[in-house]
Amino acid sequence: MIYLDNAATSFPKPKTVSAAMLDYLENIGAGPGRSGHQLAAAAGRILFQTRKALIRLFRLNDPGRIIFSENATAALNLALFGLLRPGDRVLVSGLQHNSVMRPLRRLEELRQITIDILPGTATSHYDLKLMTRWCEQKKYRLAVINHGSNVIGSRAPLEAMLPLLKEYNIISVIDGAQSAGAHPLDLNTLDPDIFCFTGHKSLFGPPGTGGLYLKAGIEPHPLTYGGTGSRSETEFQPEFLPDKYESGTPNTVGLAGLKAGLEFIEEIGLKNIIEHERVLAETLRHSLRKIPGLTLYEPRPDDKKLPVVSFTLAGLNCSEIGSRLDREFTIMTRVGLHCAPRAHQSIGTFPQGTVRLSPGYFNNTEEMAEVIRAISIIAGGHDD
């Protein structure tokens, strides 16, 4: 089996991830902050150590400003529903994921917000000149930046974009679902207002983990209210972080796994992981370009890319290609619109979508050669 769907969920996980989760279930089991006994304290340490590992990865200072949620989608919902007011104007890109567009469309109905969509293309993530002109002409409350496209692997130039948003006092919300763990991030230097991430992709954690970083002074209204294990004498929500946003018993077993995933990254080295995945993705791109009838959708050659490779084959439906790769060659891919119809409209692949290959750390170059061979056969080429 060759698994190439890491942009959706990384697999396999490091063995330490399942071991950490099993250790929690068998030896700790308690909820953090809900009791004073040693098992509750041990559970609390898991959460704190996971926050510490995240601020090391993101080069931040305050672990209390890492808020846990079940995924990046929940984190984005907190940012958007918690900050946008009736009549606000929002700036987003044409390569946006539905985890952003669907909350915004709902807010368009509920609060009559205005959504301006910067056009994206098959070779470019953002038009900075147009973005500058719009920021000058229009009064935006908030901008959502998709840091890494889950369709073509392009990466937004945060270094150029964030200062522009600051100049016009626009709140920046970064969708880092694809970039966290797949690209070096120095959030202390970049200084976004909100950075949303998920644990189950390039952080090697289990599904149901993720969260967001909140810059000091940026505090959206909570979406969930309830018990936090703190300030139990009052019926009002705590105002301090992270408790303000973390009501209910947390997914401690999942966060134990996320902590192990983050420790795996530290052990192997983020640069080593990124370089390995880059080589695999470039190997795919280089060979796919040579297959007759194949169209590759990719950023400009000099752009930094994530390990996400999308293509179509003339005369063949993407679903058929994916099915044959799975059935005949045991190669797991993702086909269709990838929950990002806006992105596919931008690159001209709507409504069919593309076949997406997303290699991960546990893939190797021999597997990439087998993938190219399989696609060549499906495309009607020769088995070399």
Report the alpha-carbon distance of residue 296 to residue 355 in Å, rounded. Answer: 10
In degrees rounded to 5, what are phi and psi of residue 209?
-130, 150
Report the alpha-carbon distance of residue 160 to residue 52 in Å, rounded. Answer: 28
* 119 has pLDDT over 90: no
pLDDT of residue 122: 58
- Which whole-number Å values give the CA distances from 135 to 84, 171, 181, in the listed order? 17, 12, 30
Report the alpha-carbon distance of residue 320 to residue 122 in Å, rounded. Answer: 23
Greatest Cα pair distance, the chain, in angstroms, is 73
| 186-215 pLDDT per residue, tens | 999 999 999 999 999 999 999 999 999 999
Q: What is the mean pLDDT of the segment spanning 286-305? A: 89
Confidence of residue 331 (pLDDT cuts 50, 70, 90): very high
How do 210-214 and 334-336 pair as beta strands?
A: unpaired
CB 176 within 8 A of CB 202: no
pLDDT of residue 277: 98
| 348-382 pLDDT per residue, tens | 899 999 999 999 999 999 999 999 999 999 998 54
pTM for this entry: 0.95
41 exposure class (CB count in 10 Å sphere: 0-12, 13-18, 19+): middle
Tokens of 58: 């993101």
Amino acid (one-letter) located at 307: P
Residues 6+ apart with CB under 8 A from 26: none
Closest to 354 (Cα-Cα) out of 296, 304, 305, 306: 296
Tokens of 207: 């599904």
Tokens of 314: 């003339």
Confidence of residue 384 (pLDDT cuts 50, 70, 90): very low
Report the alpha-carbon distance of residue 197 to residue 148 in Å, rounded. Answer: 11
Amino acid (one-letter) located at 112: Q
- More confidently predicted of 17 and 239: 17
Closest to 92 (Cα-Cα) out of 122, 111, 118: 118
| 245-279 pLDDT per residue, tens | 999 999 999 999 999 999 999 999 999 999 999 99
Report the alpha-carbon distance of residue 274 to residue 384 in Å, rounded. Answer: 30
Report the alpha-carbon distance of residue 83 to residue 379 in Å, rounded. Answer: 48
What is the share, in percent, of the chain residues with pLDDT greater than 90? Answer: 85
**What DSSP assignment string belongs to 308-369?**
-EEEEETTS-HHHHHHHHHHHH-EE-EEE-TT-HHHHHHHT-TTT-EEEEB--TT--HHHHH
* 133 has pLDDT over 80: yes
- Considering the domain 2-11+270-378, what is its CATH architecture? Alpha-Beta Complex (3.90)
| Radius of gyration of the chain, Cα coordinates, nearest whole angstrom | 21
Confidence of residue 300 (pLDDT cuts 50, 70, 90): confident
CB 223 within 8 A of CB 230: no
Work out the end-to-end distance of the chain between its first and last CA atoms, rounded to an integer number of angstroms: 20
345 exposure class (CB count in 10 Å sphere: 0-12, 13-18, 19+): middle
Q: What is the mean pLDDT of the chain?
A: 94
Domains in the chain: boundaries: 2-11+270-378, 15-268
CATH label, 15-268, candidates 3.10.310.30, 1.25.40.10, 3.40.50.720, 3.40.640.10? 3.40.640.10
Least confident of 27-41, 96-110, 212-226: 27-41
pLDDT of residue 346: 86
Residues 6+ apart with CB under 8 A from 33: 40, 44, 228, 229, 230
pLDDT of residue 211: 98
Least confident of 127-136, 160-169, 322-331: 127-136
- More confidently predicted of 235 and 162: 162
Report the alpha-carbon distance of residue 367 to residue 20 in Å, rounded. Answer: 29
